[in-house]
Structure 1
Amino acid sequence: MRGHRQLGSTGRTGGRGRDGGRGFGGGRGCEGGRAFGRTQNGAQNGAQNGAHSRAHSRARRRARDRGQVAIEYLGFLPILLLAALAGLQLGLAAYVAQQAGTAARAAARADTTDEPFPGGASAAGYASMTGWVRGRADVSVSGGVATVTVTIPQVVPFWDFDPVTKTATMPVPPDASDEEDLP
């Protein structure tokens, strides 16, 4: 009965005969429950078990695959980092534009109110910005029109933005001397 195939306990074809081969259990490896020990007809299949070597080769293949995934991740990491920096750069540009608009409105309002702001209308514009934006800003005020220009910090090395310029206009109240001349 050397060449005929035997049915294993799962109903699948098992080993090649009495002298070893794949053993019983359908060739599923160690998880088949009968990878080591004796087969149904008494043959020892320990070291000659092909299922064990297949399971071992699958484990080696999985270990190689894990290394391949790590290399693919390292290749994708610069692209992911660049996308994150681009998002940060756009958010920073929007924040600087918002701060410039707030400073322009504050400076124009301070220029047109009856009560002068300590240090002048330009100081009101500078005071309305956060510290790191204030250091990059230029505020100019004249006749109720305030213009604020802020340079945007560069996060992405090759991506440069023009400075943000915001202007605000407030109505100038009439002088008290002009009211006396009216009929």
Structure 2
Amino acid sequence: MTHACTSGPTGRRGWTRLGARREAGRTRCGARPAARLAARPTRSGTRRVAAAGPFRARRDRGSAAVEYLGFLPLLLLVALAGVQLGLAAYAAQQAGTAARAAARTGAQTERAGGAAQAGKAAVSDWVGKRADIGVAGCPGDTVTASVTVSIPSVFPGIDHFGPVHKSATMPCDESN
């Protein structure tokens, strides 16, 4: 792109692209007059430039910390919601594991109590304490284990996330 120094009808020196109109605020051939430093023209109007000096620095000190403190509760709420979503997914996964283990054990043995114990043993302790396991089936063709686990809450005072229900069905072992 080729540039040329110009001097317009007002006597101000600036630069333009050859064949293009003069662009305000860009000078290459001479310095900008001191009066034009305080206000710079833009397409939408005049933009005021803040005064430089010790008063401006003193006035803005600590504003980022105040903005961060205002935004911090929202960040904490989003983080706790993510943890709550992870707990719900973990409880659902553990309920499925307990249902499969209870159905597998119930298909191999005749005692339903042993199947419920196997389901509780297959999951972590805090899920096992919250789990309600029911096994029904054999001596029929299949055994079905149903597990209900309540989802814990990370929000103080809110415990309305409900339970997770999972079930598993397995064919009964031929020896039963």
Using structure 2 for the length normalisation, give the TM-score.
0.62
CA deviation vs aligned residue, 1:3-27 (integer Å, no higher than 9, x gap)? xxxxxxxx7778xxxxxxxxxxx9x
CA deviation vs aligned residue, 1:45-89 (integer Å, no higher than 9, x gap)? xxxxxxxx95322331342xxx22222211111111111111110
Q: Which runs of 5+ in 1 are unaligned?
A: 1-10, 15-25, 27-52, 177-183
- Distance, in Å, in 2 between the alignment partners of 1:159 and 1:82 is 16
- Distance, in Å, in 1 between the alignment partners of 2:174 and 2:69 is 67
Correspondence 1:69-84 to 2 at 5 A: 69-84=64-79
SS in 2 for 1:167: strand
Q: CA deviation at 1:175?
A: 4.4
Match of 2:121 in 1: 127
- Distance, in Å, in 2 between the alignment partners of 1:72 and 1:122 is 54
Q: CA deviation at 1:159?
A: 6.5
Q: 1:56 to 1:175 in 2, by over 3 A?
A: closer
Match of 2:42 in 1: none
Match of 2:54 in 1: 56
Size of the alignment, in residue pairs? 126
Match of 2:147 in 1: 148
* Equivalent residues of 2:106, 2:114 under 8 A apart: yes
Match of 1:136 in 2: 130
- Distance, in Å, in 1 between the alignment partners of 2:59 and 2:32 is 26
- Distance, in Å, in 2 between the alignment partners of 1:125 and 1:54 is 71
SS in 2 for 1:135: helix
Q: 1:175 to 1:12 in 2, by over 3 A?
A: closer
- Distance, in Å, in 2 between the alignment partners of 1:120 and 1:159 is 31
- Distance, in Å, in 2 between the alignment partners of 1:106 and 1:90 is 25
Match for 1:56: what amino acid? P
Using structure 1 for the length normalisation, give the TM-score.
0.60
Match of 1:163 in 2: 163
More strand by share: 2
- Distance, in Å, in 2 between the alignment partners of 1:125 and 1:147 is 10
Q: CA deviation at 1:173?
A: 2.5
Q: CA deviation at 1:156?
A: 2.4
SS in 1 for 2:171: coil
Q: CA deviation at 1:147?
A: 0.8
Q: Which runs of 5+ in 2 are unaligned?
A: 1-30, 38-50, 138-142
Higher gyration radius (CA) = 1
- Distance, in Å, in 1 between the alignment partners of 2:52 and 2:99 is 74
Match for 1:133: what amino acid? V
Q: 1:56 to 1:171 in 2, by over 3 A?
A: same
Greater length-normalized contact order (CA 8 Å, ≥ 6 residues apart):
2
